[in-house]
């Protein structure tokens, strides 16, 4: 708020004029108000146009499996003054301190931090998978579907740390069962985990969109194929509740469409 102290004035019986000090005060206030108006206009412009820098954080698994190319290509081609920086990391991000405009997060269940604004992009179905070589090494026939959860207990179980759970419910129709698997190896990077499974180190619970090609070719085999596992939900997370700049809204729409399209393609 501008000070209520009035600038000094010289006055006589016919007119009033500002003193030199009053003129300095007046010009200073005028310049300050002009700067505030210009800043407000710039903020309004940011909300109306996709311009400036857009910082997006994404786990390596999402970044490496062909889901970000199309939406990012569309964003930069449709918005010539928008510059996108993609930060790839599996570790948790602090949106405020790292100046992240939008973060992609994979979770089972809801996000714990209520201060963040999360938009659900898609549910990823998961499969417990292993290579044929791994199954043969453990005395199991890859050609015979394994639908008994108890048969998996002796096998090496590998797990991503964000999906870490020794016990979780699986379902087959109206039947539910608790699958108890103790991880022998925990990894903090999805692509590393997928690579270890492909190298027959063990079995792992993996999002289907990231391994659909391997499942189609038989390089990986789905264990417990008749059972449904808890899905992994992909969220787009922002720290602002209102007045999102257009660049963030445009990114949200592009990512949402891309994830839906990817799931439709891999399911067909």
In a domain, 73, yes or no: yes
* Residue 1 confidence class, pLDDT cut points 50, 70, 90: very low
CATH number, domain containing residue 61? 3.40.190.10
Both 72 and 110 in one domain: the answer is yes
On whether both 61 and 89 belong to a single domain, the answer is yes
pTM of the model: 0.70
Closest CA to 115 of 235, 234, 237: 237
- What is the band of 42 on the pLDDT scale with cuts at 50, 70, 90? low
Q: Percent of the chain having pLDDT more than 70? A: 81
- 130 and 207 assigned to the same domain: yes
Pair 139, 82 in one domain: no
Share of the chain residues as helix, strand and coil, in percent rounded to the nearest 5 = 35, 30, 35
Mean pLDDT of the chain: 83
In a domain, 4, yes or no: no
Instruction: Give the pLDDT band of residue 199 (cuts 50, 70, 90).
Output: very high
pLDDT at 96 over 90: no
User: 12 lies in a domain?
Assistant: no
**DSSP secondary structure string for all residues of 207-267:** EHHHHHHHHHHTSSEEESTTSB-PPEEEEEEES-SS---HHHHHHHHHHHHHHHHHHHHHH
Q: Does residue 137 fall inside a structural domain?
A: yes
Residues 147 and 200 in one domain: yes
CA distance 76 to 254: 11
Q: Say if residue 119 is in the same domain as residue 32.
A: no
Residues 119 and 148 occupy one common structural domain: no
pLDDT for 92 beyond 70: yes
- Tell me: do 160 and 41 sit in the same domain: no
Q: Is residue 41 part of a domain?
A: yes
Per the model's pLDDT, the better-predicted residue between 241 and 136 turns out to be: 136
Does residue 5 belong to any structural domain of this protein? Answer: no
In this structure, is residue 11 part of a structural domain?
Answer: no
What CATH number has the domain bearing residue 132? 3.40.190.290
Residue 200 lies in a domain: yes
pLDDT at residue 11 tops 80 = no
pLDDT tens by residue, 185-195: 999 888 899 99
Q: Is the predicted pLDDT of residue 4 greater than 60, yes or no?
A: no
Show the domain range for 119.
Answer: 52-123+233-267
Quote the tokens at residue 37. 């108006």
């Amino acid at each position: 708020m501008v000070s209520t102290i009035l600038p000094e004035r010289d006055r006589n019986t016919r007119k009033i004029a500002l003193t030199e000090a009053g003129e300095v005060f007046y010009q200073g206030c005028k310049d300050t108000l002009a700067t505030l108006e210009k800043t407000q206009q710039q903020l309004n412009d940011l909300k109306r146009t996709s311009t400036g820098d857009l910082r997006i954080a994404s786990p390596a698994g999402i970044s490496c499996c062909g889901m970000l190319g199309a939406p990012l290509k569309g964003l930069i081609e449709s918005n010539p003054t928008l510059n996108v920086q993609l930060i790839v990391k599996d570790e948790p991000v602090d949106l405020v301190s790292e100046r992240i405009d939008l973060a992609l997060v994979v979770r089972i269940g809801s996000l714990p931090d209520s201060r963040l604004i999360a938009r659900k992009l898609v549910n990823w179905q998961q499969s417990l998978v292993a290579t044929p070589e791994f199954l043969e090494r453990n005395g199991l026939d890859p050609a015979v579907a394994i639908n008994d959860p108890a048969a998996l207990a002796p096998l090496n179980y590998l797990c991503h740390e964000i999906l870490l759970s020794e016990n979780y419910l699986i379902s087959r129709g109206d039947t539910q069962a608790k699958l108890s698997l103790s991880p022998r190896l925990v990894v903090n990077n999805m692509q590393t985990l997928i690579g270890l499974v492909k190298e027959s180190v063990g079995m792992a619970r993996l999002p289907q969109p990231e391994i659909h090609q391997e499942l189609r070719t038989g390089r990986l085999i789905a264990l417990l194929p008749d059972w449904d596992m808890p899905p992994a939900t992909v969220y787009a997370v922002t720290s602002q509740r209102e007045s999102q700049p257009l660049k963030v809204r445009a990114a949200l729409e592009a990512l949402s469409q891309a994830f839906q399209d990817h799931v439709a393609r891999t399911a067909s």
